[in-house]
Amino acid sequence: MFNRRQVLAGTAVATASVFIGLNSAAAQAMPTVNDVLYDKDIPVLGNPNGDVTIVEYFDYQCPYCKKGHAELMNVVNKDGNVRLVMKDWTIFGEPSIYAARLVLAAEYSGQYVKAMDALMATPARLSKEDTDKALKKAGLDPVKLQAAYTKNAAKIDAILQRNMDQGDAFNFGGTPSFVIGTRLYGGVMREQDLIEAIKFARESQ
C-alpha cells in the first residue's frame, strides 16, 4: 500500500480497478456514481453532455498531474464526447489547499480554466507566493480571487472535503487517480490508456 502522499510514478495504469455504485455491503460505504461524476458545484470541462465522464483526482503540487494535463485535455478535446471533472485532492497540504481554493473561486468570474491552466503550467511544488505569481502572470488578481473564495468559503471548502472523502474511500495511492465511467484507475494514464479506458466505459454502458 502506497502512502497517500506519494505520487504514483510510471506510465502503466494500475491493473487493479474496481467498479463503483454496486449494490453490495462493501459498496454501500462508497460514494455513489452521482456523487462522483455529477457534483453540481464543480465545473465541467470538455463536453458537458458527453456520454463518458472522466474524473481526475489531482493536486496542483503533483508533478505527474501537471505533466499529464495537456495530454488529458488533448484526448478529451479530440474525442469530443467526454465530460471532464477535475477534483482537487489536496494531499500535499496547505499550499495545495490555497491553490485549489483560488482556482475554484475563479469560477465565479468565469475564469476557472484560465486559473487552472496557469497553475498546471508551474513546474513543481508551490508556495503561496508561487501560486499568486502564476495567477498574476496569467492576468488574474489573487486578491480578488481570495475575496471570491472568502465569500463562497463554505461551498468551496465543502467541495474539497467531499473530494478528500472520496479519494480516501477509494483508497487511492496518490495523485493522479481517475474514475472513468464507473471504473477506478490509480496512477499515471497516458494517451492510449485514456483512450482504451474511454472505450471500455462506452462498451460497458
Q: What is the pLDDT of residues 7-39, one digit of tens each?
A: 222 333 343 355 555 444 444 468 999 999 999
Q: What is the pLDDT of residue 124?
A: 82
Q: How far apart are CA 119 and CA 61, in angstroms?
A: 9
* 11 belongs to a structural domain: no
Q: Is residue 15 part of a domain?
A: no
Mean of the per-residue pLDDT values for the chain?
Answer: 89
The CATH number assigned to the domain holding 137 equals 3.40.30.10
Domain count, the chain: 1
129 close to 122: Cβ distance less than 8 angstroms: no
Is residue 148 assigned to a domain? Answer: yes
Residue 28 forms part of a structural domain: no
Q: Please report the pLDDT score of residue 17 as a whole number.
A: 54
* pLDDT at residue 90 in the model: 98
Q: In terms of residue numbers, what domain contains 184?
A: 37-204
- Mean pLDDT (whole number) for 48-69: 97
pLDDT per position as a tens digit, 108-146? 999 999 999 999 999 989 999 999 999 999 999 999 999
Q: What pLDDT digit, counting tens, does each position of 39-57 carry?
A: 999 999 999 999 999 999 9
156 belongs to a structural domain: yes
CB 126 within 8 Å of CB 99:
yes
Where are the extended beta strands (E) located within the chain?
A: 44-46, 52-58, 82-88, 177-180, 183-186
